Amino acid sequence: MAKVQLRKSNWEEEVLKSDIPVMVDFWAPWCAPCKMVSPIVLELAEEYEGRIKVGQLNTDEESEIAIEYGIMSIPTLMFFKRGEVIDQVIGAVPKEYIVQKIEEVLKHD
């Protein structure tokens, strides 16, 4: 299981209670930059499987969570560790930049 579809019903279990870091991709189907980032997110989900959990949350379907975390622009990648937000990336960025953030999250304790 490389990627998890996140919803309100599984948010606590998959993100807040995860025993490994989680990268959440906040996106929407109509968002062109999201479509640019999505293939990168899926690649990283496979490359980092077992070290970091990757989830995608459709902000149109799960707006309550997006509002709770102050998502004002998509795509936003938010990094969680032990249920806390520790970093984020806003907008379409190169894969190398996201990899750098993941590596920082994995080192962060």
Choice among 6, 15, 24, 34 that is catalytic: 34
**Would you say domain 3-102 falls under CATH 3.40.30.10?**
yes
Domain residue limits, the chain: 3-102
pLDDT, tens digit (0-9, with 9 covering 90-100), for 48-58: 999 999 999 99
Whole-prediction pTM value?
0.94
Choice among 4, 23, 31, 77 that is catalytic: 31
SS (H, E, C) the chain: CCEEECCHHHHHHHHHCCCCCEEEEEECCCCHHHHHHHHHHHHHHHHCCCCCEEEEEECCCCHHHHHHCCCCCCCEEEEEECCEEEEEEECCCCHHHHHHHHHHHHHCC
pLDDT, tens digit (0-9, with 9 covering 90-100), for 37-82: 999 999 999 999 999 999 999 999 999 999 999 999 999 999 999 9
35 counts as catalytic = no
4 counts as catalytic = no
